Chains A and B, each alone.
Chain A
Amino acid sequence: MVNVTINNRQVEVEEGSTILEAARKLNIEIPTLCFLKGINEVGDCRMCVVEVEGMRGMTPACITKVRDGMVVHTATPKVLEARSVVLDLILSNHDRKCLTCTRNGNCELQRLAQEFNVDEIEFDGERVEKKIDDLSPSIVRDNNKCILCRRCVAACKNVQGIGAIDCAGRGFSSSISTYKDLSLNDVNCTFCGQCIEACPVGALKEKDSTKDVWKALRDEDKYVVVQTAPAVRVGLGEEFGMEIGTNVAGKMVTALRLLGFDKVFDTNTGADFTIVEEGTEFIERATNGGTLPMITSCSPGWVRYMELNYPELIPHLSTCKSPHQMFGAIVKSWYAEKMGIDPSKIYMVSVMPCIAKKFERTRDDMQGTGFDDVDAVITTRELARMIKQAHIEFTGLEDSGFDDPMGEATGAAAIFGTTGGVMEAALRTVAEKVTGKTFDKLDYEAVRGEQGIKRASINLDGKEVKVVVASGLKNAQTILEEIKAGKADYQFVEIMACPGGCVMGGGQPIRSSKDRATIDIRSKRAGALYTIDEASTLRKSHENPVLQAIYKDYLGEAGGHKAHELLHTSYVAREKYKLED
């Protein structure tokens, strides 16, 4: 422990703490912009400068480590002037169009402008107009809004190990760019969206699909069905100022009805299909000498990563579609038939914590019925925007339940939204299928928790099954390298592209740098999912009665011919860089 004096107040902090951390302990606020704890600790933006006695000039609080006896001043007139000039300079080079910006109201720069009482730009000057990249189905990059904090670069490179974006050029002409300045659509970007989550401003955002959804909702001819992924219900509330980790499933369903959707279904039912299909596929591979380890395929960001970087390992990927695609296919086949609706009239909307799913729905072999399984994917954030646009007072809504017949889902499906959840759900089913027994102990603690890579060994009636759970693409890479080197002693692998799983997906509410440093957002959101699971009467996917009925009446065997037609897909090797010839 070391003693530090900040603004004449003493505080004892752990050695290795930064001035920023020490100040927070005293409830002294220091503004930041480029800092993202554990991800981007570079001290570049200079928003957080402070004075330290005995040090020349000013030093960034975000990365300067405290020393015993250090005397810090965080708010001298000199410091305040420096910060306001830094902010002014950033703003002078920023496309200040808050009114038409997705981040209006949740923007770290906007908030600073407000806090600093900016009423004019003192050092205004040249701004180079940059072209907007909106060619990909998932992500839009608008460098006119970029403040060069490099948080996205660090998220992409350091967390995901991708390096699709980096800072190019120097000095005033620096900009965040890609290989040869290609569109993100044509480089090794996985569409995981972690860069969006990292961005403090509106320079990175999802490709908007709300307009398409509104259009469908206005179309009398369309039967508009919506499904919502597990992680959405534990994120959406944040957009309305609710506590992180609040389960707002009930209000969400009510809101969706108010928006005019004809049916409000739960992707969790799709997740139960995924478990049954994936479990069956795994047992089949394990007993018939198929390619092992088998790796889950429900995270499209991860699937794209694999296709871009390890095409030779594609046989390890489960052929199962992700839950919402499966569900879309079921709605447009079994449900349409049952209800006598022309599937061509059904407009399937998925509300997802994910931007990769926007890309996923456009993939080949995602048209199980001949029609697109899913017609539009909107993120948690986009749904919130639609609710606000309709002026629905979300926090005051009554709860209501998903529509029948597919309102029923298991606790196993709910935990799909967090790292380890798919594995745990699968194990619950696989264990019973393999042993023929029924288990009461359903919590597989070993695959829970925040670590990027979790390894566990499960004993199924004397049969040892070794599993690995990885989240975040850098961790995925570690596992793939093991498999490639023939060093994998495990049979089943769950991978999610986003660190922490879909609760931390690229379509989830964006939290500020301060929240990310001071709140364990992942475990709060994931915790809410585990609570749903615990409270569920049904906690094993194969026990879902709706599923059982659909298999019995319509699909036949799990993993059978019809199931394959509707619920499975295929993969392709992808070039990392698409250069025009």
Chain B
Amino acid sequence: MKSLEEIKKIREEKRAELDLRVNTASNSREKHILVCHGTGCTSSKSPKIIENLRRIIEEKNVENVRVVQTGCFGLCAKGPIVIIRPEDVFYSLVKPEDAEEIIEKHIIGGEIVERLLCKDVDNSVVKKLDDLSFYKKQKRIALKNCGVIDPENIDEYIAFDGYKALEKVLFEMSPDDVIKTITDSGLRGRGGAGFPTGKKWEFTKIAEGDQKYVVCNADEGDPGAFMDRSILEGDPHCVVEAMMIAGYTIGANKGYIYVRAEYPIAVHRFQIAIDQAREYGILGENIWGSGFSFDLEIRLGAGAFVCGEETALLESIEGRRGQPRLKPPFPANAGLFQKPTLINNVETYANITKIILNGADWYASIGTEGSKGTKVFALGGNVVNTGLVEVPMGTTLREIVFDIGGGIPNGRKFKAAQTGGPSGGCITEENIDTPIDYESLKAIGSMMGSGGLIVMDDSKCMVNLAKFYLGFTVDESCGKCTPCRVGTKRLLEILERITEGKGEEGDIEKLEKLSRNIKNASVCGLGQTAPNPVESTIKFFRHEYEEHIKEGKCRAGECKALMNLWIDPEKCKGCGLCKRNCPANCITGEVKQPHVIDTSKCIKCGTCITKCPFHAISNK
């Protein structure tokens, strides 16, 4: 148990000690080697790097150096990442065997290990994290502590203003003050729907109930999204603190966080955070003598996407099959065990402490008219810098893809980007300069969703894309209601037919009719949004659907069944590489003469395309 005074003391002392983490001008004699210990870097051996670094430091008796495991830095494509503070040197693609050189050369010798430095998109070598174009346009609020502190050490969290917002709320603010602050900040739910958070807190506060609950939705099921995981892995206490603030505000003394069982590191860290907070008396009875009591428990997700839907999530916590309930009543009135319940997403909570400490005006000054603050995106697909990015609302897709993401690799062209995952839609070249926020995305037929952002180049077939997402929803449909259970399956079947070259006249209209009705008649958000990828690709790429159906052609060349290869005689130099590598022996041609493919024998393996050094082979 620590008194408030003791906590304050820790904050002061630790902050001074850790100043070098955020201050490049720090004259500390110590160096901190920060190693990313998020899921991505962990799977590419970052724990081994940590182990090696520590072993070598001990063997060589190096002083004034500390190896710190942190959460994710975001630039996962370049992981494992190691950063040396205070000088902020950024090493990428580090291997365990590089540990020795880092210690020898950098820590002991004071020299940068040039070969581990990161190349920026323009091929320039970058020394510091802040100089990387990937980070320049970002603004870190939710991810503020990720990659800065050791998530398993509560003192480090406290050092960077940790539990200061809670203190402020408990001793200086009434629940209504908190609601007003959150409302004025303009914060909206980051779990997908973008519901105003202040309003939700208010509804739950005024709901009648002897017992209320605070729930954190960390089920993160959108394939390709991992912002919530990163927050829990990199800064679990900020969620604990925010849930406590929520508890104080709505009048709840109990919280649950529902985490995917597939996130073992996040679960582990969050449990450590809970244990440490309990040990410090931050979670528990009569916290700091304020009269407010709160405790938290982790519930593991059952692994179904639909369990992320708030009412299905509640069913699952209550021990039943995770199937959505009819709304209304909304959880704010009848939630967990039918008691008033506040459910917010991890990232939503991750903004709370910052808003409390910096004020509503500060937060509201970031972003657009209707969407305030920042949004974390998991940037993936055909983009150079894949990873986690946090940008102010209103940033354009172009900035994200080209400035932060470094553009499209392999000299290909940008075709579209999908936001909102399986519930979202695509944004095309035409809308690439739209400032991204809740409204604008909706207006162009997509949605913010939880923050997955998949970039596609011109080798991607849009019918196939829709098929991919429908495959996902068909697998994840809980099966409760007819439109989603059978309807999504039928959508998928039609899409499969089209990509197999068996599309029929009228299929597009069928897709449209089915989509519209699945959206209108499904029980929960899963079904209500499942047809979005179909509708949106039809809207922007109707011609590709038509080409598949009427001309038997897939311009992107992704649909194997529709592949119809030819060798451009203008480009073919007659090198014969394709001929030699064709497993079907269906390419003929004399040396130095243009070659031809006998398409009747071609098995559409695509080998020749990749083998031709002159890019002469393509889909007709």
Closest B residue to A33 using CB positions: B482
In the complex, the answer to whether B522 meets A46 with C-beta atoms within 8 Å is yes
- Other-chain residue from A46, A58, A167 in contact with B482 (beta carbon distance below 8 A): A46
Contact among B477, B481, B493, B513 for A45, CB-based, below 8 A:
B481
Question: CA of A398 to CA of B478 in the docked complex: distance in angstroms?
Answer: 55
Chain B residues with Cβ below 8 Å from A47 are: 482
Q: Which residues of B contact A45 (CB under 8 A)?
A: 481-482
- Which residue in chain A gives the minimum CB-CB distance to B473? A171
Pairs A–B under 8 Å by Cβ, sample size 18: A42-B480, A44-B482, A46-B481, A46-B523, A58-B520, A63-B326, A81-B517, A85-B483, A85-B513, A85-B518, A90-B486, A92-B486, A125-B489, A125-B493, A148-B479, A167-B479, A172-B477, A172-B489
Name the one of B477, B517, B520 contacting A171, with C-beta atoms under 8 angstroms.
B477
CB-CB nearest 8 A-B residue pairs? A174-B479, A171-B477, A89-B486, A85-B517, A172-B489, A123-B490, A46-B521, A125-B493
Question: A208 to nearest B CB, angstroms?
Answer: 30
Q: Do A58 and B523 contact each other (CB < 8 Å), given the known contacts A92-B486, A171-B478?
A: no
Cβ contact within 8 Å between A125 and B479 = no
- Picked from A57, A122, A170, the residue with its CB within 8 Å of the CB of B477 is A170
CA of A89 to CA of B486 in the docked complex: distance in angstroms?
6
Are B523 and A44 in contact, with the CB atoms below 8 A?
A: yes
Confirm or deny: B100 has a beta carbon within 8 angstroms of a beta carbon on chain A: no
Interface centre among A93, A123, A167, A171 (most CB of B within 10 A): A171
A314 at the A/B interface (Cβ < 8 Å)?
no
Kindly list chain B residues whose C-beta atoms are within 8 Å of the C-beta of A173: 479
- Asked if A559 lies at the interface with its beta carbon under 8 angstroms from chain B, I say no
B474 within 8 A of A: yes
Chain B residues near A169 (CB-CB < 8 A):
479
Most buried by A among B475, B482, B487, B510: B482
| Given A43-B326, A89-B490, A125-B490: A172 in contact with B521 (beta carbons within 8 A) | no
A270 to B215, CA, bound (A): 62
Establish whether residues A93 and B481, one from each chain, have CB atoms under 8 Å apart when the complex forms.
Answer: no
Smallest Cβ distance from B473 to chain A, in angstroms? 9
Inter-chain contacts of A167 with B (CB < 8 A): 479
Q: Which of B326, B513, B519 has the most CB of A within 10 A?
A: B326
Tell whether B586 is near chain A: CB-to-CB under 8 Å.
no
Cα distance A44–B487 in the bound complex, in angstroms: 14
Distance of A276 Cα from B305 Cα, bound (Å): 62
Residues of chain B lying within 8 A (CB to CB) of residue A122:
510
Q: How far is the CB of B495 from chain A (nearest CB, A)?
A: 12
Contact of A57 among B474, B475, B478, B520 (CB under 8 A): B520
Closest residue of chain A to B506 (Cβ to Cβ) is A122
For residue A86, CB closer than 8 A to chain B, the reply is yes
The answer to the question of B476 belonging to the interface, with a C-beta cut-off of 8 Å to chain A, is: yes
Q: Is A313 an interface residue (CB 8 A)?
A: no
B269 is an interface residue with CB less than 8 A from chain A: no
Bound: A440/B514 CA distance, A? 69
Contact A85 B487, CB 8 Å, known A46-B522, A170-B479, A171-B478:
yes
Q: How far is the CA of A85 from the CA of B517 in the complex (A)?
A: 7
Contacts of A92 in B (CB 8 A): 486, 490
The answer to whether A170 and B478 touch (CB under 8 A), given A85-B517, A125-B493, is yes
Check B510 against A89 for contact (C-beta < 8 Å). Answer: no
Candidate in B474, B483, B510, B521 with the most chain A CB atoms within 10 angstroms: B521
Q: Which of A101-137 contact B (CB under 8 A)?
A: 122-123, 125-126
B485 within 8 A of A: yes
* A82 within 8 A of partner (CB): yes
Asked if B521 and A58 sit within 8 Å, CB to CB, the answer is yes
Q: How far is the CA of A92 from the CA of B490 in the complex (A)?
A: 9
Q: How far is the CB of A556 from chain B (nearest CB, A)?
A: 58
Q: Are A126 and B493 closer than 8 Å at their CB atoms?
A: yes
B528 at the interface (CB under 8 A from A): yes
Residues of chain A within 8 A of B528, CB atoms compared = 57
Instruction: Tell me if A49 is interfacial: C-beta within 8 Å of chain B.
Output: yes
Contact B476 A171 (CB under 8 A): yes
Contacts of B282 in A (CB 8 A): none
Q: Is the C-beta of B304 less than 8 angstroms from some C-beta in chain A?
A: yes
With a cutoff of 8 Å between Cβ atoms, the chain B residues found around residue A44 in the complex are 480-482, 523
A78 on interface, CB distance cutoff 8 Å: yes
Could you tell me if B521 and A49 are in contact, using CB atoms closer than 8 angstroms?
A: yes
- Cβ A89 vs Cβ B487 within 8 A: yes
User: 8 Å CB contacts to B: which residues of A306-359?
Assistant: none
Question: Told that A148-B485, A171-B479, A174-B485 touch, could you supply 8 new A-B pairs with CB distance under 8 A?
Answer: A57-B519, A57-B520, A81-B516, A90-B482, A92-B490, A123-B510, A125-B489, A174-B479
Q: Tell me the residues in window 403-429 of chain A with beta carbons closer than 8 Å to chain B beta carbons.
A: none
User: What interface size band does chain A fall in?
Assistant: 20 to 34
**Complexed CA–CA distance, A174 and B477 (Å):** 10
CB-CB < 8 A to B485: which residues of A?
148, 171-172, 174
CA distance A47 to B522 in the complex (A): 11
Kindly identify which residue among B480, B489, B510, B517 contacts A86, using a CB–CB cutoff of 8 Å.
B517
A46 CB contacts on chain B under 8 angstroms? 481-483, 521-523
Find chain A residues with CB under 8 A from B519 CB: 57
Q: What B residues does A82 contact at CB under 8 A?
A: 483, 517, 520-521
Pick the residue among A78, A86, A170, A172 that contacts B483 (CB under 8 A). A86
Distance of B512 from chain A, by nearest CB (Å): 12
Whole-angstrom distance between the Cβ of B506 and the nearest chain A Cβ: 10
CB interface residues, B 481-509, toward A, < 8 Å: 481-483, 485-490, 493
Docked pose: A46 CA to B523 CA in angstroms: 8
- Chain B minimum-CB-distance residue to A46: B521
Q: Name the residue on B nearest A166 (C-beta).
A: B321
Report the minimal beta-carbon distance from B353 to chain A, rounded to whole angstroms.
32
Q: Give B498 Cβ to nearest chain A Cβ, in Å.
A: 14
Per-residue CB contact flags for chain A residues 61-92 toward chain B (1 = under 8 Å, else 0) read 00110000000000000100110011001101
Interface string of B40-79 (1 = CB under 8 A from A): 0000000000000000000000000000000000000000
Residues of chain A in range 39-61 having any CB-CB distance to chain B below 8 Å: 42-47, 49, 57-58, 60
Chain A residues positioned under 8 Å from B478 (CB to CB)? 170-171
Residues of A within 8 A of B521 (CB): 46, 49, 57-58, 82, 85-86
Chain A residues lying within 8 Å of B476, measured Cβ to Cβ, are 171
Shortest C-beta distance, B337 to chain A (Å), equals 19
- A167→B485 CA distance, assembly (Å): 13
The answer to whether A85 touches B514 (Cβ under 8 A) is yes
A49 with B477: CB separation less than 8 A: no
CB neighbors of B among A212-226 (8 A)? none
Taking CB atoms, residues of chain A closer than 8 Å to B479 are 148, 167, 169-174
Smallest Cβ distance from A460 to chain B, in angstroms?
47
CA distance A92 to B482 in the complex (A): 11
Chain A residues with CB under 8 A of B474: 171-172
Query: Which A residues are in CB contact (< 8 Å) with B517?
Result: 81-82, 85-86
Question: Do residues A170 and B304 form an inter-chain contact, with CB atoms below 8 A?
Answer: yes
How does the 8 Å CB contact mask read for B457-478 relative to A, with 1 for contact and 0 for none?
0000000000000000011111
Q: Do the beta carbons of B522 and A123 come within 8 Å of each other? A: no
- B520 contacts across to A, CB distance below 8 A: 49, 57-58, 78, 82
Residues of A within 8 A of B523 (CB): 43-44, 46
Kindly report which residue of chain A lies nearest to residue B490, judged by CB atoms. Answer: A123
A-chain residues with CB within 8 Å of residue B477 when the two chains form the complex: 170-172
Residues of A within 8 A of B475 (CB): 171
Interchain nearest-CB distance for B438 vs A (Å): 15
Q: Give A172 to B527 CA distance when docked, in angstroms.
A: 13
Q: Which residues of B contact A49 (CB under 8 A)?
A: 520-521
Output the residue of B474, B481, B514 with the most chain A CB within 10 A: B481
| Cα–Cα, bound, A313→B519 (Å) | 53
Q: How far is the CB of A122 from chain B (nearest CB, A)?
A: 7
Write the chain B residue with the least CB distance to A169.
Answer: B479
Q: CB-CB contacts of B524-561 with A at 8 A, as 1s and 0s?
A: 00001000000000000000000000000000000000
Residue in chain A with minimal CB distance to B519:
A57
Asked if residues A93 and B304 are in contact (CB atoms below 8 Å), the reply is no
* Residues A1-53 near B (CB distance < 8 A): 42-47, 49
**Which residues 281-310 of B sit at the A interface, judged by CB distance below 8 A?**
304
